[in-house]
A and B are shown apart, each in its own frame.
Chain A
Amino acid sequence: MANTQTMTAEMPMIEPTKFLSGAQAIMQCLVENNVKTIFGYPGGAIMPTYDALYDYQDRIKHILVRHEQGAGHAAQGYARMTGRAGVAIVTSGPGATNLMTPIADALLDSTPLVCLVGQVKANLLGTDAFQECDIIGMSMPVTKWNYQITDADEIPEIMAKAFYIAESGRPGPVLLDITRTAQADFMTKPFVYKPCEEIVSYRPRYIPKQSQIEEAAKLINAAQKPYIFAGHGILIAKAEEELNEFARKTDIPVATTLLGMSALPHNHPNYIGWLGMHGNYGANVLTNEADLIIAIGMRFDDRVTGDLAQFITQAKVVHIDIDPAEINKNIKADAPVVGDAKEALKALLPLVKERKHTKWIAEFKKYDEIEFEKVSKRDLFHDGDKIKMGEAVAMLSKKTKGEAVTVTDVGQHQMIVNRYYEYMKPNSLVTSGGAGTMGFALPAAFGAKVGAPDREVIALIGDGGFQMTIQELGTIAQSGLPVKIIILNNNFLGMVRQWQQLFFEKRYSFVELQNPDFIAISKGFGIDAHKVSDRAELSTELDKMLAATTPYLLEIVCEKEENVFPMVPAGGGVASIRLE
């Protein structure tokens, strides 16, 4: 008895040790990962995490979007600018399903995303609970990796893994489905964060095998008409300088893919244009004259190859890609090189001979002249009253010296931006290439501006796509960030209309839009907006937009039934390219 009393008197009250809650652990993981900004939308199943976020506002900036799709695309824009994973945070059920489009988009365009998705309590899983949705099952085909967290103790390790998988190798989207239980419960051990450095079942190869490099160098040194296809991999690996050196030393002409745009400045002596359905005339046609294709960080998408049976059948192929599944997927590689674009180019540089391909490059220039006469001249120097998209973009390009970040939506305007914006700085185009997601540009431009506040970010959007995520004007207004928005308005779903005109006997099936007053809408959201339809005023209006230090919208009323050329008809060989 006495003994017990002594103990009570001497021992201080011991509180049971309280560790971090799952939600706090999530926040702490973000901090440890140096995540400064996240894009999200709260809701029931993610509330514990939002509650923890309240205490972390000084370290993590949360941007409240207006729709979960906006969070995903904004995170994509952010990731494309920073090279780091963009973080989107949403609730379960509809919150999560709304994120599916950006996730699918990010997978196709190799964009790192970490999506934190709330889920119902663990004991309710599989019961059709309120806002329950099998998001693991749904997101499986469109994520690089996904995982359901049911235990708070798992959080540090899984979060570290998520960022590692999203950002390493060929980047892609990762989804974490976090039950409300795992967020609300306390961890049973101290929080320790260890960045993930290796996963036994996932070991992307960065440094290529020397034997593969030597094989590739042999083909490159022997080629008479070599031709480089530079893809998104160049930008992801930050290999622009290596590509520049490589192109100069070997004097090989370089075309980019849509996503590879701005890998070389457009005034580079070896840059000859871009590939693909609406790419440049010479860049496309001369693929069939080359004796060697050096494909770097690109995947021979059908929009580049057209009919595969007719594509570069005469040429040998060196294919450099970090994703081994891309090798021999669409085009057989004579010399495959698995590795990071930067490392591969660095390894190749000392092995390739200094060459001159003056005549071969001059062939491209000949086609440029034809393209200028038949297409560009009509777009840029016409005497009509109506503004053409091409001239608006070309003027913007001049005024910004080709140094802005352009963020495009999908359709005619997207192709026109790529045709007429003369990129001078690397990583300057954010666009939805693989998925072709309309509605991408407005939120992605916002995310890009958050990621690169010092660069001029200009969204160029068609009137159709603009109305798909128009609500994100609210996000932009609330942030006050000077995102510049140009609507190229032709009152049509232009690309579909073009196809209907060319391939469906001009049967215009549901492509004409009765548009709202974009200026009133924008002003309603609190964003300064102007409209221009007179060619004579275009220059002044663009100047006003560029001078603005707040968000700014400029609606450019364009010629209604313009078509984008050149065009390789879908399924045709690149030789069937049309100029009119």
Chain B
Amino acid sequence: MYNTKNKMLEQELKDIWNNASQTAKISIETNQLVEELNNKVSRIQKKIRIRDIREMSASAIGILLFDYLLYEIPFPITKVACGLAIAWFVFVILKFKKSKTQNIKTDFSLSLTEQLNNQKTMMAQQANLLDTALYWYAIPPFIMNFIFILGLENPADYNWTNSIAAKILPLSSNLKIITLTGLALFYAFTFWVNKRALTKDVKPIIESIETMQQQIKK
């Protein structure tokens, strides 16, 4: 029963609540604030641009490098691996671009329930990208590297003389094994980093969103 006593208490709580903010004075210099806000927006946009360039440039450098190797190296199997590597780098660029266009922008003016749904979808997309990293970010380049190294033959058989490439490429069996082991460890590490980001960063956020969704439904 909602009685008068409770109503009085409720009004008292509302008064306490409303009077609380009177203990602090908030003064805002709007002109300066607008300038600071614009600066912050510019800083964020610059950071995003730099991140985009960084993501794309790694793949762009890869494409150029394997273009050169495709042209220069005479070994047929290695040439096939170079072609596959170029295709994979193009795929990675497209994947990043697609992920950016699919990204749902955070809209804080949505209602609380819509906002939670929105954020969950956004985080689920990120989780999916990290969760499948093994299949599109680690295994394909490892296979390509494997074919590339396996296809390296004796340069003399092809009358190929490129002292720089010959020095860089692992032409002996021992060097091939060492390089492949190093690459396997590197891709295993890449996979672990992605899984860790999924478990440590993304999953807890999804869980807290789901908890809030449950709370609000109850």
Q: Do A and B bind each other?
A: no
Binding site for B on A (CB under 8 A): none
